[in-house]
Structures are given as structure tokens and as C-alpha cells.
Amino acid sequence: MALQSKITVYVALAGVFAMMGGIVYYASLDNAGLEQVEIELSSVTLKEINTVDNQAKFDVTFLVKNPSDKTLTVSQIDYQLYGDGKLIGTGLYSTADVSLPGRAIFYSGAEIPLKNIFVLSKSETNSEIYEDSINEKFISFSAEGKITTQTAWSEIDMNFNTGN
């Protein structure tokens, strides 16, 4: 009787591990669709200048496209913003604290602009870049960074490099 109960436990454990492996495999099927996401820097516009705090706020808009057949969301875009090839600073678009159903949903073929407020603070090390930014002297902007996309089962980080 003791041998039969040990075999039952081993079979149950093997079944649990097989089920966990199946879940991991099923979740990995979404990765190919998540890797197809396209992102481009759509616009960078000066929104507000605060002369008291020496800060400027910019609207940074990324156009995210989903050419795959998977429905997904974007939880984070971590980026470095460049003006005419000069690093202006780093920014973060994040909906990580918003539950999956509350985020923008990218159905197959969807193109959705995602806006972010980029804050540039003036300091001794970046005063020239700050002045060029608030005087709108930059002709072209570009961004590079990492975008995090998710489905109900999977999440993937993908590097990007884009300019407008």
C-alpha cells in the first residue's frame, strides 16, 4: 500500500510539472507576434516653459503599430530623446500601474499614438541644450530605447531606434 501511494504522488508531481511546462510553452507562442510591433517617434512639441523652476515640458508622441494577429498592450516605453543628434534627456511612458484591461488595446493592424510628457530641467551641464530646446532650434528629433509589450500570457522587451 505504501508503494502505491508513493507512485501516486510521483505521478501527480509529474502531471503538475507537465502542466506548468505546457503553460510556459503556450505563453511563448505570443512572442513572435509581440516582436513584430513597430514604433516611431511621431512628434515632439514644446508644451510649457516654467522660468521659476527652469523646466520645460514637451509632448512626445510615439506611433505604435501592431502588424501581427495578436492583441497586445504597451506597458512601458523607456527612451532617450535626441535633438539634431544631441542627447536631450531620458523619458518614460508607463502604464505599468494600470491593469491590462485599462490600457490602450492594440488589435491586429491597429496604429495608436501614445503621448508622454517629457520634462527637461536646466542645469549647468545642459544649459546649452536647454536653451536650444526652449527656443525650438532643433530641426529633427530622434529616440532610442526599449518598448515593453504584453499579451495576457506573455511579455517582451524590444529595443528600438526611431526619428521623425
Which cell numbers in the block locate residue 148? Answer: 515593453
What string of pLDDT tens digits covers the 164 residues of the chain?
566 678 888 888 888 888 888 777 766 666 677 788 999 999 999 999 888 888 899 999 999 999 988 888 999 999 999 998 889 999 999 988 887 777 888 998 999 999 999 999 888 767 888 888 888 888 889 999 999 998 877 888 999 998 76
What is the b/e burial string over 94-132, where b = at least 16 CB atoms within 10 angstroms of the residue's CB?
ebeeeeeeebeebeeeeeeebebebebebeeebeebbeb
**Strands annotated E in 17-140:** 38-50, 55-65, 73-83, 86-94, 111-121
What's the number of CA atoms in the CB half-sphere (13 Å) around residue 6?
3
* 160 φ, ψ (degrees, to nearest 5): -145, 160
- CATH number 2.40.10.220 is the correct assignment for the domain at 2-163: no
Give the domain ranges of the chain. 2-163
62 Rama class: left (phi>0) / alpha (psi -120 to 50) / beta: beta
